[in-house]
Amino acid sequence: MTFEELKITRQFLNAIDDCGYSAPSPIQEKAIPRISAGQDVIGIAQTGTGKTAAFALPVLQKVKYAQDLPPRALVLVPTKELAMQVYEVFITLAKYTDIRCIALYGGVGPKTQLEKLSNGVDIIIGTPGRFLDLYLRGGIVTKKIKTMVLDECDRMMDMGFMPQLRNILEVIPTKRQNLLFSATFPERVERLSEEFLLWPTKIEVSPQATPVASVKQLKTPVPNIRTKLHFVSYLLEEVYKEDRALVFVRTKEQAEQISKYLERTISGGVRGMHSNKAQNTRLHSMSLFREGAIRVLVSTDVASRGIDVPETKVVINCTVPTNSADYVHRIGRTGRAFREGVAHTLYDPSEKMYLSAIESHLPSKNEIIDSPMPDSIPIEETPPWEAKQMAKDIDYQKRKADPNYKGAFHEKKRKESGKSGDSRRRRK
C-alpha cells in the first residue's frame, strides 16, 4: 500500500517524502483510513511502529490550514519529552502548510506558551498538567476542539494522570473525535476507553505487549550488582563498542551511580537520565545521544519515555522491570524504525520471578534466549547487605504470588510463639 492510496494529500506527501518513508507502516495502513472517516479509534501499538504519524497525518489533514485563534485538535501525552517529540513529528509533517502547532509542558515558565496561544494555534500537543494549568489561567479556548488524541495512554494511567484527564474531558466539547493510543491495553485503559469513546474501532498492529520482531532478546543470570557492572562494561566495550546503547536501571540512585561508574570505564560518553535531573539537563542528554555525541544513556523507566533514537542498537536491562509493560517499553527503544536491535537482560536471583512473569506474557515467537556470561568476566561475591535485600525481595514476591505463603519472617515468629506455648504447657 502507498500513502497516496491512503488519500494523503500532496502537501503531506511531500513532507513524507522528505522524511524518507517509502510506505505506510501497518498501524498507519489500518488507522489512517478510519481516523480520516471520523471514527473513534483505539490503537494498540508500541512506540517504534510509526504510531505518531498514524494519528498526526489524519489529524493534520482534518485541520487542513491555519484558521481563527482557538485550537481545533488536542493531543495529550504523559511527559514533556514525548510532547516535544510528538510536536516534532507534527511540525515536520505540516512543513508545507501554515498549520500552527504548539507543545505545552511544564518545567518552563508559562509566559511564552501563553503568548503563543494568544496569537492563535491549530493543534496543541501537551501534558495534561500543563494544559489544565494554562486553561485555568484563561489561556486556552477549548470550544473549537474537534479532535482529542490520548497518546501512550497506559503510561498516562501509570503516572496518575486520571484526575487531570477527567477534568480536561469536562472542559472540552463533548462532540468530538477521540483517538486513544496505548502500547498495552490493561483493564484500566479499557475502562477509560469505555468512558469516553463512542463505538470505537480497535486496531492492533501486534498482539498486546509484544516486542517488535526486529529485537533479538537475550538473558543472562548474574549473581549481584557488581558482577552486573563488569558485564555491562564488557558488553559496551567489547560487544557493542561502536553502538548507541540504553542501560535501564530501577531507581534514580542506581541511574546516578551506574552512569558515573560507566563514565569511568567505557569510551564514547555516558549520561544518566532520571527524574531528579532538571528537565533541561535530560533534554540535553537526549539530544547529545540522538546526535551521537554520547554513546550510552543510563535511564530509569520514567525518564526513558519519549527517547526516540532509531540508531539505538542495544538495550541493556541492568535490572529486570517488575512488569511486562515496562519490559516491552524498554526494549521498544531499540529495533525502532524497522532496524535490528538487541535487548539483553541481566537478572540476579531475586529477579528470576519477575523475568519468568514477563516471559509468560510474551508470545512464544518472542522467546528470550539464554546467553551465558563469558568466562573473562570476574564474578564478585555478593555482599551481605545485597544478599539480604534479595532474600527480602524474593520473600515479597512469593507472598504476592501466593497469599498462603507465610514467608521466612513469619516462620520464625511461629517457631518462637511455639516455643513459648511449649513452656506454658510445661508450666502446667
* Interface positions with ligand AMP (CB under 6 A): 21, 24-25, 28, 47-53, 308, 310, 336-337
Scored b (16 or more CB within 10 A) or e, 344-364 reads bbbbbbbbebbbebbbebbee
Distance CA 357, CA 96 (A): 48
Cell digits for 299?
535511564
Distance CA 69, CA 419 (A): 79
Q: Which is nearer to ligand AMP, 6 or 236 (CB)?
A: 6
Q: Which is nearer to ligand AMP, 49 or 285 (CB)?
A: 49
Residue 66 CB coordination number (10 Å): 14
Smallest separation, CB 265 to ligand AMP (Å): 30
Smallest separation, CB 180 to ligand AMP (Å): 15
Smallest separation, CB 52 to ligand AMP (Å): 3
Smallest separation, CB 190 to ligand AMP (Å): 22
- DSSP symbol at 63: H
Count Cα neighbours of 233 within 13 Å in the Cβ-side half-sphere.
Answer: 19
Distance CA 299, CA 251 (A): 9
Q: Which is nearer to ligand AMP, 277 or 336 (CB)?
A: 336
Whether 57 and 179 have beta carbons less than 8 Å apart is answered as no
Strand partners, 4: none
Q: Which is nearer to ligand AMP, 183 or 358 (CB)?
A: 183
Smallest separation, CB 8 to ligand AMP (Å): 11
Strand partners, 180: 42, 150
Smallest separation, CB 22 to ligand AMP (Å): 6
Scored b (16 or more CB within 10 A) or e, 23-55 reads ebbbbbbbbbebbbeebbbbbbbbbbbbbbbbb
Smallest separation, CB 54 to ligand AMP (Å): 7
Smallest separation, CB 223 to ligand AMP (Å): 36
Whether 317 and 346 have beta carbons less than 8 Å apart is answered as yes
Radius of gyration of the chain (CA): 24
Q: Which is nearer to ligand AMP, 3 or 135 (CB)?
A: 3
Q: Which is nearer to ligand AMP, 47 or 227 (CB)?
A: 47
Smallest separation, CB 328 to ligand AMP (Å): 13
**Nearest CA-CA partner of 324 in 361, 352, 299:** 361
Q: Which is nearer to ligand AMP, 28 or 397 (CB)?
A: 28
Largest CA distance in the chain: 96
Cell digits for 5?
492510496
Distance CA 415, CA 280 (A): 55
Q: Which is nearer to ligand AMP, 43 or 272 (CB)?
A: 43
Q: Which is nearer to ligand AMP, 305 or 336 (CB)?
A: 336
Distance CA 217, CA 365 (A): 11
